[in-house]
Amino acid sequence: MQGHFRGELRLYSFDSDFDQENKSNSKDTALGGLFYYQTDPLKNISVGVAARTGFDLGNSKTDSTYMLLPTNDENERFSYGALQEYWIKGEWADTAIKIGAQQVNTPFLNGHDIRLMPKTYRGVSVESKYFDNLLLHAMHFTDIMGWADTDFQSLSHFTDRTGTVTEDRGVSLVGAVWKPLKNLQLEAYDYQFWDMYNDMYGRMKYDHPFNDTFTGYVDLRYLAQNTVGKNLLNKEDSYMLGAGVGIKAYGADLQFVYANIGDDDIENPGGGRLMLLQQVAFSKRAEDNVYAGILQYDFGYLGLTGLTGNTSYGYYDSTESGPNASFDIKEWDFMLRYKFSEALKGWRATARYAIVDGDNSTGGAGYDRNDLRFQLTYKFAFDLNELLD
């Protein structure tokens, strides 16, 4: 059958070295592959499959896992292969209906692609681009394949952090992304994690060019996470309020971020566009006030095409009293990425380093670490139709 094939090879090495002597370091090195095949549409119907594979590269069971690979009861990593997608899709009037195991890209249900493999979901999705400048979503999923899973499991059980959930109702969502102006984007989503909690998320992103060189922008986000039904996670109602302001010029992008979290941790089992996502710490801890500065730079402006960098500093100010009292966290992140071209087109190398400091005076000594990550990837694709001609 005619169609298209694409894939990605990934070599990842993650190493977290904790300062506390009696705390086990985390370390994983693995080689993985993602392989996708999609048929050409026949009477508006197409089908697709995708496989994942991961290979252990001599990891030690004495090191804590980074969830790059599956582990057994003795913390030994093992190589594996699994079918992570299989779906059928129909497209009519700029609207796609997809049934089966699939990747998803919404603010609080997505691939959460920060390990060797992305997360995928099993259910049904509808995506419509029928109206100009408006993207509509409606979805329901019952199962998830996590970062290092070899098969799908109940999404309700995956979300459970109490170990008591017996329900298996999954998540339903509706959402919209609207661009009324070229430089203005509005998002609104509602997620129903049945008998657990409801997410209502809104975002406004506005870019304003001051001249041909300088562009300023504002990024506002709000998430209300409220308990629903049986409240199987025994949560408190919570929220995330976030704001970012930034300016771009001469290849640089400087942004300042603030986030405030409500009375409970923010749940994000399917990934989440939290206001701040650093290498180790995120803006999701109950009653935190989060402050950050982020500087990104494209060295192509200096003639080094393909090289980009990023550095950020985040301060997570915890409440000092009450049930959510905890230690403050400071994190410095540094990242360099090079995207190859010409004969090595498709290859990309990334080096990331984080220095994380928990306030030792309030119990944060066990959080102190240096976190080093190397990622080498290769993407490829070809059209089976051309091979058969």
Classified as helix, coil or strand, 72 is coil
CA distance 222 to 183: 20
Indicate the burial class of 261 (C-beta count within 10 angstroms; 0-12, 13-18, 19 or more). Answer: buried
What residues form DSSP beta bridges with 124?
99, 140
CA distance 140 to 138: 7
Please state, as a whole number, how many other Cβ atoms lie within 10 Å of the Cβ of residue 139: 22
Classified as helix, coil or strand, 155 is helix
CA distance 108 to 270: 6
Phi, psi angles (nearest 5°) of residue 305: -60, 130
Q: For residue range 4-45, what is the model confidence (pLDDT) as tens digits?
A: 999 999 999 999 999 998 888 999 999 999 999 999 999 999
Residue predicted with more confidence, 217 or 169: 217
Question: pLDDT exceeding 70 applies to what percent of the chain?
Answer: 98
The tally of CA atoms less than 13 A away on the side-chain side of residue 377 is 16
Contact, 229 vs 195, CB < 8 A? yes
Q: Counting every residue, how long is the chain?
A: 389
Nearest of 79, 69, 27 to residue 374 by alpha carbon = 27
Fold of 3-388: Porin (2.40.160)
Q: Indicate the pLDDT class of residue 1, thresholds 50, 70 and 90.
A: low
Q: Hey, what amino acid is at 105?
A: N
Per-residue confidence (pLDDT) for residue 382, from 0 to 100: 85
Nearest of 165, 168, 166, 159 to residue 267 by alpha carbon = 159
Q: pTM for the full model?
A: 0.95
Contact, 297 vs 309, CB < 8 A? yes
Phi, psi angles (nearest 5°) of residue 244: -135, 140
CA distance 70 to 54: 9
Per-residue confidence (pLDDT) for residue 82, from 0 to 100: 98
Q: Would the pLDDT of 102 be above 80?
A: yes
Q: For residue range 180-212, what is the model confidence (pLDDT) as tens digits?
A: 999 999 999 999 999 899 999 999 999 999 999
CA distance 63 to 27: 6
- Classify each residue of 207-225 as buried b or exposed e, where b means 16 or more C-beta atoms within 10 Å of its C-beta: beeeeeeebebebebebbb
Tokens encoding 175: 């959402």
Q: Indicate the pLDDT class of residue 361, thresholds 50, 70 and 90.
A: confident
Kindly state the average pLDDT of the residues 284-310: 98
Please state, as a whole number, how many other Cβ atoms lie within 10 Å of the Cβ of residue 95: 13
Going by C-beta distance under 8 Å and a sequence separation of 6 or more, which residues neighbour residue 249?
213, 214, 215
Please state, as a whole number, how many other Cβ atoms lie within 10 Å of the Cβ of residue 46: 20
Q: For residue range 314-356, what is the model confidence (pLDDT) as tens digits?
A: 999 999 999 999 999 999 999 999 999 999 999 999 999 999 9
Q: Would the pLDDT of 387 be above 80?
A: no
What is the DSSP-derived secondary structure letter of residue 267?
P
Per-residue confidence (pLDDT) for residue 389, from 0 to 100: 63
Q: Would the pLDDT of 368 be above 90?
A: yes
Looking at every residue in the chain, the average pLDDT score rounds to 95
- Cα angle 372, 374, 380 (rounded to 5 degrees) comes to 160
Q: Would the pLDDT of 162 be above 90?
A: no
Q: For residue range 49-98, what is the model confidence (pLDDT) as tens digits?
A: 999 999 999 999 999 999 999 999 999 999 999 999 999 999 999 999 99
Question: pLDDT exceeding 90 applies to what percent of the chain?
Answer: 89
Q: Would the pLDDT of 163 be above 80?
A: no
Per-residue confidence (pLDDT) for residue 71, from 0 to 100: 96
Per-residue confidence (pLDDT) for residue 286, from 0 to 100: 97
Per-residue confidence (pLDDT) for residue 106, from 0 to 100: 98
Kindly state the average pLDDT of the residues 138-163: 92
CA distance 126 to 89: 10
